[in-house]
Homo-oligomer: A and B are copies of this chain.
Amino acid sequence: MLGGTTRDRQAERREATQLEILDAAWSMAREAGLAEITLRGVAERVGMRAPSLYTHFGSKHAIYDAMFGQAWAECLTQFESLRDQVPEDAREALRFIARSFFDFAVSDLPRHQLMNLRTIPGFTPSAHNYAPAVATLDLAREIFIRHGITAQEDLDLFTALVGGLVDSQHANDPGGDRWARLLDRAIDMLADDLGLP
């Protein structure tokens, strides 16, 4: 049907423009910092005026929100692709997951700030864009359970431990490896606590 095709075309075009805007926002975040994004700056990068962005996003926070969803979706995709590579041995599995998450978080500061820190004043992710974050944690939980680690407290301790190392690395030795070097040791510490062989 012609009407249907037209509508699809328009929807595609619209989605493409939204992606273009988000790409511009990421680019500006990486250049100037996550919090330094401005609508005028983003608009300029896509060849628009600032108010035109409101055709595609209801507010600046809505742009952050969409970026939040993108980032966690990216993380989820990576974890799903790594799913079959998780070692059989529980201790090795913990190390593998921890290293994967650590590297992902450390490799992109603005992305990590948006995903895991509350660095944008007043921003809270919507339920819709929070979903891939939940899915990622669920996936981690599933892998943990598969390796016999079932207590929520154990997963909580794991996330706090890895998160603490990531934040320390970013805050106190950006670009270095002072805390990255401690990751395996930290995980072994936890594995011992869990009674893993």
Q: Which A residues lie at the B interface, using CB under 8 A?
A: 33, 35-36, 116-119, 121-122, 153, 156-157, 159-165, 167-168, 171, 178-179, 181-182, 185-186, 188-190, 192-193
Give which listed residue, B35, B159, B182, B192, contacts A192 with CB less than 8 A. B192
Q: Are B160 and A182 in contact, CB atoms less than 8 angstroms apart? A: yes
**Copies held by the complex:** 2
Shortest distance in angstroms between A115's beta carbon and chain B's nearest beta carbon? 11
Shortest distance in angstroms between A107's beta carbon and chain B's nearest beta carbon? 18
Report how far A193 CA is from B192 CA in the complex, Å: 9
Report how far A163 CA is from B182 CA in the complex, Å: 15
Report how far A32 CA is from B190 CA in the complex, Å: 38
Give which listed residue, B33, B161, B181, B192, contacts A164 with CB less than 8 A. B161
Chain B residues, CB < 8 A from A160 = 161, 164-165, 167-168, 179, 182, 186
A-B contacts besides A117-B171, A119-B119, 9 pairs, CB < 8 Å: A33-B121, A33-B122, A35-B121, A156-B182, A160-B165, A161-B164, A163-B168, A164-B165, A189-B192
Shortest distance in angstroms between A41's beta carbon and chain B's nearest beta carbon? 14
Q: Are A178 and B163 in contact, CB atoms less than 8 angstroms apart? A: no
Report how far A120 CA is from B171 CA in the complex, Å: 13
Report how far A186 CA is from B186 CA in the complex, Å: 11
Going nearest first, the 3 A-B pairs with the smallest beta carbon separation are A164-B164, A35-B121, A160-B164
Chain B residues, CB < 8 A from A122 = 33, 35-36
Q: Which among A118, A160, A181 has the greatest number of chain B C-beta atoms within 10 A?
A: A160
Q: Are A156 and B179 in contact, CB atoms less than 8 angstroms apart? A: yes
Contacts A153-B182, A156-B182, A185-B193 hold; do A161 and B163 have CB atoms under 8 A apart? no
